[in-house]
Structure 1
Amino acid sequence: MAPPSKKPRKELPEHLIHQLLLPRLPFKCLRRLMCTSTNLHSLINADAQFAADQARCATISRSSFVYMSKSGLSFFPDPSLVGVPDPSLNFLNPTPSSEIKLICSTNGILLLYGEFRGLKSLCVCNPATQEKAFVPDKNMTKDYGRWEMGLCYDPWESPDRYTIVNPIFHCKGDGKDYHFDVFSSDTGEWTLSSWSVYVDTEYVPCKPICAKGVIYWECGIYLLWYDTRKDLAGSITLPLMDGLTNFGVCANDLTCCHTCAGGIEVWRLIGGSCWEGCMG
């Protein structure tokens, strides 16, 4: 019997590998691939277009802690790990000696407030690709609510689309009635959502966190949320924990953790309404 003929192996197109597959790999994998060939080393280490594609395909495994220092934008542990060519943000043309405030960051893009080109403005930017957009702020004369603005951005689904949500409250009895100003990059305009949420606490929202298209704010024993995809809003009660609670995102799920005498208590939000807890 004649041996079976071997079918020729089909190679993936180079543009598919370079533009769609490699930019989505974690940094450690890319470091290993750099050692396999001169072409891959040049692509990963020195190709500007590859760096831009990688920035647009940000994943949780390549996320980094970002904060504002006296010298400008800073990263932990190393700005080179997230491909930021100029952490000074000079590409935004900030007014000399003016202060730039970091409001929040989501999946590699930043929401800033400062004076740019001589005008005070909100700014959404990607420090890796140096893309920027200045956002009109209809509440520019009012400081309340601005520092609690949430930013929603998903580079996997819509790399050119983002949403900003500003929770505005009015005191009502012993609590607060929240409404939501929403800015969409699709329209370039702010609109007031029809949803309102009453929370019976005097606490004001803390820094926002975004997960799966939903922006969350801690309000005392409650978690205020706004779904940017469905234009829905509401609140849920936080799990009972004594002391300081820290919020974050793990595997695209909202988490809150707390240190206690028995170790670390970690809770994960399941399905947007149920808390799953464990002790570590």
Structure 2
Amino acid sequence: MSLEASSTIMYRGINGLVFFSRANQGLINIPEPRLNFIGRYPDLAASTNGIICCISMPVMKFTFQLCNPVSKDLVAISNPNRRLNIGLVFDPLNSPSHYMVVCPHTISGFMSSCDETFSQVYGFEVFSSRTGLWRESNAAVRIFNHSYPMKRSVFAGGKLYWRMPVDILWFDHKIDYAGHLRSPVKEKGEMRSHVEIGECRGELSYTTITNTDIEIWIVKAKKEFEFDWVKKYNIRLADILEKSEGLVIRRDEMRPLPFEWEGMVLFLVKAKRNGYIYTYYVKTGELKLFYKPEEMKVVPYFSYRSSLAPLPKLCG
């Protein structure tokens, strides 16, 4: 039996996790969404290759809870510094007996007296299942803008990525090294809010909605620490709106979702208390109402690939 069964997108709803899959793919091995075996329902923090990481916040004690919702394997990890931004490394094909939890954090900040620019240095706390211990990584990154990583991380091509207001922070667990990428879309001093990152066929994807277009970019590695942005799709919003007769779509209420499925672009439209998720098929230009969330609030959307791979045991 294959280790990987189904690729979906999930978010935390009112009563638990909500899963939805691409229209032509059945939901296979999708777990019971309430995750009752965890106990008190925690906050969803990360998802990588079938393993979900949640943050549990009982009185006076923060913990990370890692689980495989299909097999119901569960392990609790201490969260001594109460980190909320995390990344999860798990590669069941190449390293099935090991996982890592990585937490970016601010080390220091500097204000230049010459041009009044602000920079911050980020470090990384790393937990390894091989040792059962936390350590401070040797990696450090200075970024010249006042920003902090968004909560949702993406594991793609062997690296962890976090989106920031302008940059994308990355960490390579194999060589304990980190860096940052500039956004492929030029900002004029403004924070771009309609942006989402994802993973498609092992590569980082970057989706943005501008005033006129939906743009999707893919990161291509040139050398070990050199990357190029390649524009994969450019979809005119005017073309989408032309096809939206009878659908609830307003340009100023559109929000991108992670680009995970080749040839399908997903976006969410807010409408009062409700929301609607649409798919646009790039090849045919077809627009469909894909899913209606049970509630409309700003929540992170995570990729989830159901897996029968067991959760590695803690050592140490």
Query: Please, what TM-score do these two structures have when normalized by structure 1?
Result: 0.70
C-alpha deviation, 1:159, in angstroms: 2.4
**Of 240, 250, 266, which aligns to 2:200?**
250
**Partner residue of 1:203?**
147
1:111 lines up with 2:46 in the alignment: no
Residues 233, 221 of structure 1: alpha-carbon distance in 2 compared, 3 angstrom cutoff: same
Where does residue 228 of structure 1 map in the other structure? 173
Q: In structure 2, which of residues 161, 170, 180 is the aligned counterpart of residue 216 of structure 1?
A: 161
Task: Report which stretch shifted further, 263-272 or 249-258.
Answer: 263-272
How big is the shift at 1:210? Answer: 1.1
Q: Which has the higher strand share?
A: 2
CA contact (8 A) 2:55 2:84 kept: no
1:108-147 superposed matches below 5 A: 108-114=50-56, 120-140=62-82, 146-147=83-84
**Pairs within 5 Å for 1:167-182:** 167-169=104-106, 170-173=108-111, 174-182=118-126
Q: Separation in 2 of the partners of 1:225 and 1:91? A: 33
How many angstroms does 1:104 deviate by? 1.3
Equivalent position amino acid for 1:258 in 2: T
Distance in 2, Cα, partners of 1:73 & 1:208 = 18
Q: Deviations over 1:78-103 (max 9, x none)?
A: 9x8141343221222x14xxx51001
- What is the root-mean-square deviation in Å for CA atoms of aligned residues? 2.4
Structure 1 residue aligned with 2:36: 90
- Picking from 231, 234, 238, the partner of 1:277 is 231
* TM-aligned CA deviation for residue 180 of structure 1: 0.5
Flag structure 1 segments of 5+ consecutive residues without an equivalent.
Answer: 1-18, 24-56, 141-145
Cα pair 1:72 1:87 within 8 Å, conserved: yes
Instruction: State the 4+ residue runs in structure 1 displaced beyond 6 angstroms.
Output: none
The structure that is helix-richer by fraction is: 1
Q: Which has the larger radius of gyration?
A: 1
Per-residue deviation, 1:241: 4.7
Deviations 1:5-56, CA, capped at 9 Å, x for gaps: xxxxxxxxxxxxxx4xxx1xxxxxxxxxxxxxxxxxxxxxxxxxxxxxxxxx
Shift of 1:171: 2.3
TM-score, normalization: structure 2?
0.62
Answer whether contact 2:99 2:128 (CA < 8 A) is retained: yes
Q: Provide Cα deviations, 1:198-251, integer angstroms capped at 9, x if missing partner.
A: 001111111211102211112222111100112111112111256422211111
Q: Secondary structure of the residue that 2:145 maps to in structure 1?
A: coil
Structure 2 letter corresponding to 1:254? L
Inter-partner Cα distance in structure 2 for 1:208 and 1:171: 23
- Does the 8 Å contact 1:58/1:155 carry over to 2? no
Q: Which residue of 2 aligns with 1:26?
A: none
Change (3 A) 1:156 1:199: same
SS of 2:27's equivalent?
A: helix
Letter of the structure 1 residue corresponding to residue 110 of structure 2 = K
Distance 1:180 1:90 in 2: 31
Aligned to 2:297: none
Q: CA shift at 1:258, angstroms?
A: 2.1
Q: Which has the higher contact order (CA 8 A, sep 6+)?
A: 2
For 1:220 and 1:178, the matched residues in 2 are separated by: 15
- Tell me, in whole angstroms, the C-alpha distance in 1 between the residues paired with 2:180 and 2:210: 26
Cα distance in 2, alignment partners of residues 158 and 82 from structure 1: 24
* CA pair 126-210 structure 1, distance change in 2 beyond 3 A: same
Contact (CA 8 Å) 2:7, 2:21: kept in 1 or not? Answer: no
Unaligned residue ranges in structure 2 (runs of 5+): 112-117, 236-316
Q: Distance in 2 between matches of 1:189 and 1:224?
A: 24
